[in-house]
Every structure is written in structure tokens, then in C-alpha cells.
Amino acid sequence: MTKQEKHLWYDFLNQYPIRWYRQRIIESFIVDFYCATAKLVVELDGSQHYEKEAMEYDEFRTEIINKYDIEVLRFSNYDVDNNFEGVCAMIDKAVKERLMP
């Protein structure tokens, strides 16, 4: 795991009241974090994800994962480093929205 993935895992997701998994396989892709209960994926993107080919590939992956009614949230490593509380709040909000009847 990257420094940012470790930070998000050990300082938030690992202690979250609903179970999260690290590096789960969905279809033929390995996602960074997955909450099966909320059907939510969190991906942390380093600078390489902002190159044209990588962005197209990420979009392709997201479309396939969405077909399973799984939402994908993407955050940059910069977001985790500079707005950790905001990232955590957005994840928490997304979980709660997906669990509402």
C-alpha cells in the first residue's frame, strides 16, 4: 500500500463501523478499498492516473464496476495528504446515502 492508502486504512476505514476490505477483486480488477454492505469502492490515485491512457483505463474500469451497482469514489493522493478529514467525510456521506432505503 502507498503512504496515503495506509493512512486512509489505518486512520479511518479499518475503524469504520461498517466493514471495509483492502485490495478486493471485482470482475478482473483489484480495487483499493471495498465496502460490500454499501456497494462502494474507494480508489486513491497517484499522479500516473492523470495521464491520458490511465484516465481512459480508469473510466473503463469504473463503467464495468458500476454495472454491479457499485459506486466508485476517486481521490487523489494529494487530497488524502491535504484534506484527510474532507476525504473521510465524503466517504462517510457516500456510505450513508447508499444505505438509505
* Structural domains present in the chain: 3-96 (3.40.960.10)
Q: Model confidence at 48, in pLDDT bands (50, 70, 90)?
A: low
Calculate mean pLDDT across residues 67-84: 96
Mean pLDDT, rounded, for 21-48: 93
More confident residue, 46 or 73: 73
Q: Among residues of the chain, what percentage have pLDDT more than 70?
A: 94
- Could you list the beta-strand ranges (E) of 1-101: 21-26, 29-35, 40-45, 71-76
Q: What is the pLDDT confidence band of residue 50, given thresholds at 50, 70 and 90?
A: low
| CA-based nearest residue to 76, from 52, 53, 42, 28 | 42
